[in-house]
């Protein structure tokens, strides 16, 4: 089915024509059509054009306004201020738009990214470690971007770059071998993350022994070698660790409502067999050079405090590969084998320099070409409610699960007050939906790049710009549709249109444009802002314009059409953010 052309594009087309008629000598013109608070739209293009051609901007604006030929679309065009053209649309055109989107598949959005293969690398927790607050943003933002790209038609390849390799596993495996009494497979059968929690504790014990006992340290190092050289007994334990950890991650993603599955796992170990070849290729090309016993890539414009170039370290002096080698193997694989058009790395802003080096190296090697877009999608740090780095009272790392538990508990408290007679099971489900939704919305609605304070009290607040507000708006929409029962769903384009109906319909029509912007900027907070505005615009409509009790049948039908489209748009948007859209609250 054909996508529905947004009104703003139809207006732009009309304005380009008008500009051309008013000023034929102007070549390509930008009409600069925007929403306006004094009309449906405003066109600012005449202003710049007048300047270029030495014309009086107000006069040219008037000429352009007079040259508009779009009778079914534009009902009035007036010059204002220095040369803005204020445009009002016919209510017929706006109603027709509502009708077209309602009748269309996918809200008339179409699939602008169809045919694109996009990789999103996100989450990346560590095997044998609990997920903590540091994994929150990459997981939530990455998932939202993946859902967004998918909705726009892209072929999505999610890559969960698990931390499943490294010297620490030698230490842990050796410790486990020496302490068979340290049972961790059934730490708590009711809690799928308990095994990993147990492993996390055992790892810390192993670390202590490693630091205190040189003999154990030697045995641990030997175990690293055994693991790397493929010793079967050692690999068996390692695989066990990976598998149990993956189960815990699955449980976490399930709880969080994140779309990652076992099929998306592509940990560091995935690239082990490629490392020799990748590094050889870089050496052969003269890109990687030896320095102080290590194998490095240098860059002219990247220097350290001493003024010397800072290398990207591929292979350490002890012969072991660093994570840079893994990242290079991964990017080569993603381009050559996965055929990615776009690779998004949703990783902490502090790794900006690292990615700059990796991308530059891949470009020099000829792997990363102009046809492929590799982008670091950075985000700021999660701070505690006090605005300082987020730590537990004892200064430890905050577990992700306890964070979610806290949010859900607070949501449950707040919701319980409003629904004292509700079924406890329903209440628990609703608390999970709103608590998780609150956490995700709080994260996604802030500009990605800035640090933000994790303040549970504020995020589960029932008032204001929160996930709950959007969910509540959705339940009201759903409630109206429930009570309306079956309707024949036709919208009468000749019907009158109230101010609130107009505002809502125009905003609905801009959804696809917003999705496209959110994607090109990789900024989910734009979508959040849109949805919040949608919910507000709807609520204003709802307060002023009775739907089920509308004055006439015709008005009722049109308003129901608006309600249906609003519900579908809001639900669609919430889904892209990974936030539940409940039917009742």
Residues 28-87 that bind RNA (CB under 7 A): 32, 34-39, 42, 44, 47-48, 51, 57, 80-82, 84, 86
- Nearest approach in angstroms of CB 482 to RNA is 8
Q: Kindly state whether residue 299 participates in binding RNA, applying the rule CB under 7 A.
A: no
Distance CA 283, CA 290 (A): 9
Residue 365, helix vs strand vs coil: coil
Residues 528-567 that bind RNA (CB under 7 A): 529, 532, 536, 539-540, 542-543, 545-549
Residue 115, helix vs strand vs coil: coil
Q: Kindly state whether residue 140 participates in binding RNA, applying the rule CB under 7 A.
A: no
Instruction: Please state, as a whole number, how many other Cβ atoms lie within 10 Å of the Cβ of residue 343.
Output: 25
CA atoms within 13 A on the CB side of 463: 0
Distance CA 570, CA 585 (A): 16
Place of tokens 């270029």: 52
500 phi, psi to nearest 5 deg: -70, -35
Stretch of 67-75, 111-119, 195-203, 523-531 contacting RNA, by CB under 7 A: 523-531
Distance CA 349, CA 376 (A): 8
* C-beta of 102 vs 138, nearer to RNA: 138
Return the residue of 114, 285, 353, 429 that touches RNA, per CB under 7 A. Answer: 353
As a three-state string, the secondary structure of 501-547 is HHHHHHHHHCHHHHHHHHHHCCCHHHHHHHHHHHHHHHHHHHHHCCC
Residues 250-279 that bind RNA (CB under 7 A): 268
Q: For residue 451, give the nearest of 121, 124, 130, 136 by alpha carbon.
A: 136
* C-beta of 106 vs 349, nearer to RNA: 349
* C-beta of 147 vs 526, nearer to RNA: 526
- Nearest approach in angstroms of CB 190 to RNA is 28
Return the residue of 476, 493, 498, 502 that touches RNA, per CB under 7 A. Answer: 476
**Cα 181 vs. chain centroid, distance in angstroms?**
43
Residue spans of alpha helices (H) in 152-231: 167-178, 194-212, 214-228
Q: Kindly state whether residue 463 participates in binding RNA, applying the rule CB under 7 A.
A: yes
Q: Kindly state whether residue 153 participates in binding RNA, applying the rule CB under 7 A.
A: no
Return the residue of 139, 446, 566, 569 that touches RNA, per CB under 7 A. Answer: 446
Q: Kindly state whether residue 449 participates in binding RNA, applying the rule CB under 7 A.
A: yes
Number of residues in contact with RNA under rule CB under 7 A: 102
Q: Which two tokens stand for residue 31?
A: 């009409």
Q: Kindly state whether residue 409 participates in binding RNA, applying the rule CB under 7 A.
A: no
* C-beta of 143 vs 268, nearer to RNA: 268
Angle separating helix axes 499-509 and 7-22, nearest 10 degrees: 90
Stretch of 161-169, 205-213, 238-246, 490-498 contacting RNA, by CB under 7 A: 161-169
Q: Kindly state whether residue 350 participates in binding RNA, applying the rule CB under 7 A.
A: yes
* C-beta of 240 vs 465, nearer to RNA: 465
* C-beta of 369 vs 463, nearer to RNA: 463
Q: Kindly state whether residue 337 participates in binding RNA, applying the rule CB under 7 A.
A: no
Return the residue of 292, 337, 421, 551 that touches RNA, per CB under 7 A. Answer: 292
Return the residue of 55, 223, 526, 567 that touches RNA, per CB under 7 A. Answer: 526
Distance CA 230, CA 211 (A): 26
- Nearest approach in angstroms of CB 162 to RNA is 9
- Nearest approach in angstroms of CB 198 to RNA is 22
Return the residue of 366, 387, 489, 496 that touches RNA, per CB under 7 A. Answer: 387
Residues 426-445 that bind RNA (CB under 7 A): 434, 445
Return the residue of 110, 311, 512, 561 that touches RNA, per CB under 7 A. Answer: 311
* C-beta of 237 vs 528, nearer to RNA: 528
Answer yes or no: are the C-beta atoms of 569 and 464 closer than 8 Å.
no
Distance CA 257, CA 152 (A): 20
**Cα 544 vs. chain centroid, distance in angstroms?**
34
- Nearest approach in angstroms of CB 183 to RNA is 28
What are all long-range contacts of 281-284, with beta carbons under 8 Å and residues at least 24 apart?
281/365, 282/314, 282/328, 282/361, 282/365
Question: Cβ contacts of residue 438 below 8 Å, gap of 6+?
Answer: 407, 411, 459, 460, 466, 467, 468
3-state helix, strand, coil in the chain (%, to 5): 55, 10, 35
Answer yes or no: are the C-beta atoms of 167 and 228 closer than 8 Å.
no
- Nearest approach in angstroms of CB 181 to RNA is 29
Residues 205-244 that bind RNA (CB under 7 A): none
- Nearest approach in angstroms of CB 211 to RNA is 15
Residues 78-137 that bind RNA (CB under 7 A): 80-82, 84, 86
Q: Kindly state whether residue 296 participates in binding RNA, applying the rule CB under 7 A.
A: yes
Return the residue of 98, 148, 197, 415 that touches RNA, per CB under 7 A. Answer: 415
Q: Kindly state whether residue 294 participates in binding RNA, applying the rule CB under 7 A.
A: yes
Q: For residue 313, give the nearest of 334, 338, 330, 288 by alpha carbon.
A: 288
Residues 483-522 that bind RNA (CB under 7 A): 483, 517, 521
Distance CA 306, CA 309 (A): 9
- Nearest approach in angstroms of CB 188 to RNA is 28
Question: Cβ contacts of residue 273 below 8 Å, gap of 6+?
Answer: none
């Amino acid at each position: 089915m054909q996508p529905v052309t947004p009104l703003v594009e139809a207006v732009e087309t009309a304005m380009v024509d008008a500009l051309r008629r008013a000023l034929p000598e102007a070549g390509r013109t930008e009409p600069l059509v925007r929403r306006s608070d004094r009309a449906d739209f405003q066109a600012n293009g005449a202003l710049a054009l007048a300047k270029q051609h030495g014309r009086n901007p107000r006069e040219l604006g008037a000429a352009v306004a007079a040259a508009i030929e779009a009778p079914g679309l534009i009902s009035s065009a007036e010059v204002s201020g220095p040369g803005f053209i204020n445009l009002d649309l016919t209510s017929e055109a706006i109603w027709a738009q509502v009708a077209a989107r309602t009748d269309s598949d996918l809200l008339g959005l179409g699939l602008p990214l169809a045919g694109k293969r996009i990789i999103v690398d996100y989450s990346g927790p560590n095997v044998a470690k609990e997920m903590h607050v540091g994994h929150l943003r990459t997981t939530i933002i990455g998932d939202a971007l993946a859902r967004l790209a998918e909705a726009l038609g892209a072929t999505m390849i999610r890559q969960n770059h698990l931390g499943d390799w490294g010297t620490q596993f030698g230490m842990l495996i050796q410790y486990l071998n020496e302490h068979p009494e340290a049972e961790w497979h059934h730490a708590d059968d009711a809690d799928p993350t308990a095994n990993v929690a147990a492993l996390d504790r055992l790892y810390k014990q192993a670390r202590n022994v490693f630091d205190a006992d040189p003999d154990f340290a030697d045995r641990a190092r030997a175990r690293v070698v055994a693991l790397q050289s493929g010793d079967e007994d050692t690999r068996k334990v390692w695989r066990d660790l990976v598998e149990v950890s993956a189960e815990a991650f699955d449980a976490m993603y399930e709880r969080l409502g994140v779309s990652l599955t076992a099929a998306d796992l592509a940990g560091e170990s995935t690239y082990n067999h490629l490392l020799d070849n990748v590094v050889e290729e870089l050496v052969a090309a003269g890109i990687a050079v030896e320095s102080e016993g290590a194998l490095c890539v240098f860059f002219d414009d990247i220097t350290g405090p001493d003024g010397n170039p800072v290398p990207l370290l591929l292979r350490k002096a002890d012969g072991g590969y660093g994570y840079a080698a893994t990242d290079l193997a991964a990017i080569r694989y993603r381009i050559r084998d996965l055929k990615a058009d776009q690779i998004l790395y949703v990783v902490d802003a502090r790794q900006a320099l690292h990615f700059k080096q990796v991308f530059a190296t891949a470009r020099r090697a000829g792997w990363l070409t102009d046809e492929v877009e590799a982008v670091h999608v950075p985000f700021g740090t999660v701070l505690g409610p006090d605005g300082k780095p987020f730590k537990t009272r004892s200064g430890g790392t905050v577990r992700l699960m306890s964070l979610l538990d806290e949010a859900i508990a607070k949501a449950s408290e707040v919701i319980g007050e409003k629904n004292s007679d509700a079924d406890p099971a329903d209440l628990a489900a609703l608390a999970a939906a709103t608590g998780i939704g609150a956490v995700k919305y709080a994260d996604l609605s802030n500009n990605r790049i800035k640090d933000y304070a994790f303040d549970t009290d504020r995020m589960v607040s029932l008032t204001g710009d929160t996930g709950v507000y959007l969910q509540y708006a959705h339940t009201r929409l759903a409630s109206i549709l429930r009570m309306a029962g079956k309707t024949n769903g036709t919208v009468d384009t000749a019907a009158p249109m109230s101010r609130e109906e107009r505002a809502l319909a125009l905003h609905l029509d801009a959804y696809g444009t917003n999705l496209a912007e959110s994607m090109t900027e990789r900024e989910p907070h734009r979508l959040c802002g849109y949805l919040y505005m949608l919910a507000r615009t709807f609520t204003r409509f709802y307060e002023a314009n009775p739907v089920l009790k509308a004055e006439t049948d015709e008005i009722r039908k049109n308003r129901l059409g608006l309600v249906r489209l609003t519900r579908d748009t809001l639900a669609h948007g919430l889904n892209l953010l990974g936030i539940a859209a409940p039917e009742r609250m």
